[in-house]
Amino acid sequence: MANIKKIKGVIGILTGGGDVPGLNPAIRAVTIRALREGYQVIGLRRGWAGITEIVREKDYDNSDNFRILTEDIVNRAGRTGGTFLHTSRTRPSHMKKSAVPQHLQDKYNAEANDLTPEVMANLAWLGIETLIPIGGDDTLSYGVRLYKDGMKVVAIPKTMDNDVPGTDYCIGFSTCVTRTIQITNNLRTSAGSHERFLVLEVFGRYAGYTAMVPTMAGAAHRCVIPEYKFHIDQLAELLSHDRQNNPSRYSVVLVSEGAMFEGGEMIFERDTTDAYGHKKLGGIGDLVSEKLKELSPRYNNGKTVNTIAQRLGYLVRGGDPDAIDSIVPMAYGNLALDLILKGVHGRLVVLKNGRYDNLPLDVVTSSKKVVNVAEHYNTERLRPHYKSFEMKPMFLTTGE
């Protein structure tokens, strides 16, 4: 479908990486505003995969790779969770030989291939002049690459880990926290009925916000996070104390999937890596659970305390967005259009200290966003601590 008839211009939009609630409201906000401003909007399907796999032939069926968006399409999806454009963890700049689209395999047959020239050609073929990627630091890092290669890019941060640098808030985080609190509270009845330790593994590869914030809200007694390697004996003693002082005789700990024992490393579910080199995390919660049971007699008059271990995983990223993940994506989408209308590109829309703003796009590759342990995490009590809430961001996390 070469030579799309343009009105004011053509905007492309995609969602990459893990799904979160709030993606469809963001797509809706971008599309409705853009259409009313006289633009055409093309939704690129399956993240960076769709734009990589396009076949530049007029009569070829590329419906699996992109679709023209209308108000009717985005209105129907706008209140729902997930992403109707679908997603993937494709990385066009580092594509394995086995992942190269079939029609390009003769041209790109090395063990690792950079398909960026094809991506740029496909964007031009579609007539896309400005691209809005919605994703975490992996997805957006490739957006930085395209911007450096000449593509106009305005990015929107998304990840339940809330760890995209530069912004206090990423789409999906509030719903993740809300779900974590709800599920933890539901599981309290079982933990209390059996007088057990409740061990819940939550998302968070490098940043512990998804364990910290629900704990701060009262969902758990303790939390362990990737930024601080913890002593399991210390955790066992603290949880035993919490349990003993609880009339229902149970205690709760949230364990980030990237948390590490003192002297240990991250626990992986398998050794294979995704397109960005990340191994699949999983299992630290089960190990913590086993160790707590093993150590419990030491702090419980010689008696063993049994455990309930649960990975929250996709339970907290499925379903509809909460209020914040309905409002912030709407604002982010309109912020992106404001920049495009002004002719400004190479920016990341952000929330900073309670106010919407934008920053240079390369902030996502030039820094890391993790919990400031010295300021926000009590290493003696293995839980959040805040000396003052005055002038803090809503979720008490910052973009630095």
Instruction: Please report, for the domain that includes residue 302, its CATH number.
Output: 3.40.50.460
Residue 389 forms part of a structural domain: no
Which residue, 146, 211, 173, 177, is CA-closest to 364? 146
26 with 153, same domain: the answer is yes
339 with 377, same domain: the answer is no
pLDDT given at position 389:
81
Report, as ranges of residue numbers, the positions in the chain whose pLDDT lies below 70.
1-6, 266, 268-282, 398-400
As to burial, measured by CB atoms within 10 angstroms (0-12 exposed, 13-18 middle, 19+ buried), residue 375 is: exposed
Q: How many residues does the chain have?
A: 400
pLDDT given at position 268:
59
84 with 126, same domain: the answer is yes
184 with 254, same domain: the answer is yes
39 with 139, same domain: the answer is yes
Catalytic one among 137, 138, 161, 325? 161
155 with 296, same domain: the answer is no
> What's the CATH code of the domain at 39?
3.40.50.450
Residue 68 forms part of a structural domain: yes
Measure the CA–CA gap between 274 and 205, rounded to whole angstroms. Answer: 14
pLDDT given at position 7:
75
Residue 391 forms part of a structural domain: no
16 with 68, same domain: the answer is yes
186 with 302, same domain: the answer is yes
Structure tokens at 251: 């205690």
101 with 153, same domain: the answer is yes
Residue 21 forms part of a structural domain: yes
Tell me: the pLDDT tens digits for 250-272?
Answer: 999 999 999 999 987 767 565 55
164 with 190, same domain: the answer is no
| 293-296 contacts, C-beta under 8 A, 24 or more apart | 293/197, 295/232, 295/233, 295/236, 296/197, 296/236, 296/240
Q: Are 115 and 95 in contact (CB under 8 A)?
A: yes
300 with 284, same domain: the answer is yes
Tell me: the pLDDT tens digits for 132-146?
Answer: 999 999 999 999 999
Residue 4 forms part of a structural domain: no
Q: Are 305 and 240 in contact (CB under 8 A)?
A: yes
pLDDT given at position 400:
62
Q: Give residue for tokens 């379903």.
A: 319
β partners of residue 252: 198
pLDDT given at position 280:
52
Residue 399 forms part of a structural domain: no
Residue 361 forms part of a structural domain: yes
383-384 and 377-378: which strand pairing? antiparallel
Residue 303 forms part of a structural domain: yes
> Which domain does 333 fall in, by range?
9-171+319-366
Q: Give the total number of structural domains in the chain.
A: 2
53 with 191, same domain: the answer is no
As to burial, measured by CB atoms within 10 angstroms (0-12 exposed, 13-18 middle, 19+ buried), residue 36 is: exposed
Structure tokens at 109: 């047959």
β partners of residue 96: 112
pLDDT given at position 4:
47
Q: Known catalytic residue: 274?
A: no
Q: Are 324 and 301 in contact (CB under 8 A)?
A: no
Element (H, E) at 25: helix 23-36
